[in-house]
Structure 1
Amino acid sequence: MFSYRHAFHAGSHADVLKHLTLIATLRHLMQKPTPLTMVDTHAGAGLYRLDGDYAQTSGEAAGGILRLAGLRQPAGANTLNDALADYLEVIDAFNTEGKDWRIYPGSPFVIHHMMNQAERSSVRDRLKLFELHPTDSKTLEANIAQLEAGRQITVTVQDGFEGLKTLLPPPPALGGSRRALVLMDPSYEIKTDYAKVQAAMQDALRRFPTGVYLVWYPIIARPEAHDLPRRLKTMATQAERPWLHATLSVGAPEADGSEEHGSPERRGLTSSGMFVINPPHSLKPVLEAALPQLLKTLGMGSGKGWQVEAQRS
């Protein structure tokens, strides 16, 4: 169960969709000056080298974040969607030593970056990270230690599905308000992860129905993958909670003979989705504006497309 390493996939088109959605959600939630408890149930190593062996082996960043690097240039700045520009600025903040992007922040560092911005740094937000992989958890602990964030961030070597139960409902802030955001993006390397996601979301909604829950999942030829969003829709509807479902498919590149030589860009995941329970009302129009521009850059061929659907309670 520990064969999966996110370092192979860091900066892929799936990461782009996940983090674009995460940042847009947090931007809205952080407009309110009350603390947030944020939980990443499968935190990974936290930071990734795009010029390292793992990323170079898979080549997935080349079909994801690195294709977006050109959008930072002045020629495209005036037409760049606000949410996409925001996302690229976050990535840029981790690559201050040169023009080329060599570092990709995982979700823990994306969240901390937003917690640590000037307009938010005085708010006592909390970030809870879970990672079970023996190597990635050690790397995560070392990376987080460099932030010197103290008790603001905690790393627990535990199954995030189980660990989440101890954090909901979140402790009340001054004035009694309770707010929480949970990101759940397991590897899905074993098919039981799909059932675990469903069970964890069911339990989370029972414990804290007003939390904001983000679930990433791969769109692959497996019945469990296609059933998951449908089951989450049913669950949210029965709980009378609003939901949003966004998908991004970059498509399959046209065959040109290089596939037989093992070109990394011709293997692996081509589609993924984000399911959000209790999404901010602003999220749907934000994604509807950003995803077409994203697809224009990342789309590779037949089957490419995007979709955003939502239902209010």
Structure 2
Amino acid sequence: MNYRHAFHAGNHTEVFKHAALVLLLDHLRQKPKPFFVLDTHAGLGLYDLKSPEAQRTGEAEGGIGRVLARPGRGLASYRAAVEPFTAAGRYPGSPAIAAAMMRDGDRLGACELHPEDVEVLRGHFRRDRRVAVHHRDGYEAMAALLPPAERRGLVFVDPPYESRDEATRLGEALAAAWKKWPTGIYACWYPIKDDTIRLAISGALAAAGVENAIRADFLRYPVDGERLAGGGMIFINPPWRFDEQLERVADEWAELLALPATGRKVVRRLGAHV
């Protein structure tokens, strides 16, 4: 699996993923104390919806394109975060969304290992003192930068799944980070063709003793092991009643994006091991 975000920016699974991110940031903003966001695989930060990569797949039309075609529908805070960018023909990645929602005292650590991508990322945030861009491995950054001085915040893990051992590395790094910072909020995304990636991640978390977790899958197609059916997320230490919020958003997004009933699914697993 190789999920290069430039080809998939603004598609149905990106819209759901970023709506979940917005819900978590909304929660962190409810208290006046500052928070820290670690984005382990920040990518380019912004994506041109008219780029050759985006045009090749056309996936944004079935995602953010449908959202923009229905003004006033969907999560209001998500719209507020993304519409200033989409008005200019661009779709914001997770670091741009986080920065758009952060306050003056909040911080973002955005990590990107690709040498060309990290320079583009630096260009976007060069004038933003709240944002530190790191040219480093995101999993190594989780070990080095946690826990943050703020003691409250979010770790957002969204790798491209380029290597065969990506899911194993992610699960191990996430479990180790949780042990170092057990009160932090963690959100990781995975593509769904089959259950292989999810089981590798959830297995590592279960072995570490993680209990307070939610799993959510958002699918356009049935899972058949061949094509990209959609994406899923695992959340550790989600806010109170976050599962209910997420399910409402998933239902509204599924209707807004006109997902077929055969593909749409949200799964929640609470309490016991992931």
User: TM-score, normalization: structure 2?
Assistant: 0.90
Per-residue deviation at 1:299? 4.1
> Is 2:9–2:47's contact at 8 Å kept on the other side of the alignment?
yes
Distance 1:180 1:25 in 2: 9
Q: 1:243 aligns with which of 213, 219, 227?
A: 213
Could you say which residue in structure 1 is the equivalent of 2:200? 228
After superposition, what is the alpha-carbon deviation per residue over 1:262-313, rounded to whole angstroms, capped at 9, x for unaligned?
A: xxxxx95221101100001132111111111211232454631121414247
What displacement does 1:52 show? 1.6
Counterpart check, 1:105 vs 2:92: yes
Are 2:269 and 1:269 equivalent residues in the alignment?
no
* CA–CA distance in structure 2, aligned partners of residues 107 and 12 of structure 1: 14
1:197–1:143 CA distance, 2 compared to 1 (3 A) = same
- Which residue number corresponds to residue 212 of structure 1? 185
Partner of 1:260: none
Alpha-carbon shift at residue 233 of structure 1 (Å):
5.7
| 1:166 aligned residue | 144
CA distance in 2, matches of 1:233, 1:309: 16
Matched, 1:87 2:87: no
Spell out the pairing of 1:52-131 with structure 2 (5 A cutoff).
Answer: 52-72=51-71, 77=72, 80-81=73-74, 84-96=75-87, 102-115=89-102, 120-121=103-104, 124-131=105-112
Judged with a 3 Å threshold, the aligned counterparts in structure 2 of structure 1 residues 61 and 268 are, in CA distance, closer, same or farther, namely: farther
Unaligned runs of 5+ residues in structure 1 are: 253-266
Secondary structure at the aligned position of 2:41 is classed as: coil
- Alpha-carbon spacing, 1:249–1:198, altered in 2? closer, same or farther (3 Å): same
2-side partners of 1:268 and 1:108: how far apart?
A: 28
Paired residues, number:
269
Equivalent in the alignment of 1:40: 39
Q: Give distance in 2, aligned partners of 1:304 and 1:54.
A: 25
- Cα distance in 2, alignment partners of residues 268 and 54 from structure 1: 18
Query: Are the equivalent residues in 1 in contact too, given 2:175–2:205 (CA < 8 A)?
Result: no
The CA deviation at 1:96 is 4.3
**Contact map agreement 1:37 1:125 (CA 8 A) in 2:** yes
Asked whether the equivalents of residues 213 and 276 of structure 1 are also in contact (C-alpha less than 8 Å), the reply is: yes
Whether the aligned pair in 2 keeps the contact of 1:249 and 1:306 (CA below 8 Å) is yes
- 1:191 corresponds in structure 2 to 164
Cα distance between partner residues in 2 of 1:300 and 1:289: 15
Distance of aligned partners of 1:281 and 1:235 in 2 relative to their CA distance in 1, 3 Å threshold: farther
Alpha-carbon distance in 2 for matches of 1:250, 1:4:
16
TM-score by length of 1: 0.80
The residue number in structure 2 matching 1:264 is none
Is 1:21 equivalent to 2:20 in the alignment?
yes
Q: CA deviation at 1:144?
A: 1.4
In 2, Cα distance between equivalents of 1:126 and 1:144: 12
CA distance in 2, matches of 1:288, 1:301: 17
How far apart in 1 are the matches of 2:259 and 2:271?
33
SS at match of 1:94: helix
Deviations 1:162-191 (A, max 9, x none): 1111111111x4xxxx11210001111222
Q: Deviations over 1:215-261 (max 9, x none)?
A: 0001113x53241354266257x24x411111111127xxxxxxxxx
Partner of 1:289: 248
- CA–CA distance in structure 2, aligned partners of residues 309 and 70 of structure 1: 30
Go from structure 1 to structure 2 and tell me whether the alpha carbon gap of 1:181 and 1:20 turns closer, same or farther (over 3 Å shift): same
**Residues 1:149 and 2:136 are matched in the alignment:** no
Gaps of 5+ in 2: none
Question: In the alignment, which of 110, 114, 117 is matched to residue 136 of structure 1?
Answer: 117
Using the alignment, how far apart are the partners of 2:261 and 2:162 within structure 1? 26
SS of equivalent to 2:61: helix
Question: 1:104 corresponds to which letter in structure 2?
Answer: Y
Asked if structure 2 preserves the Cα contact closer than 8 Å seen for 1:7 and 1:55, the reply is yes
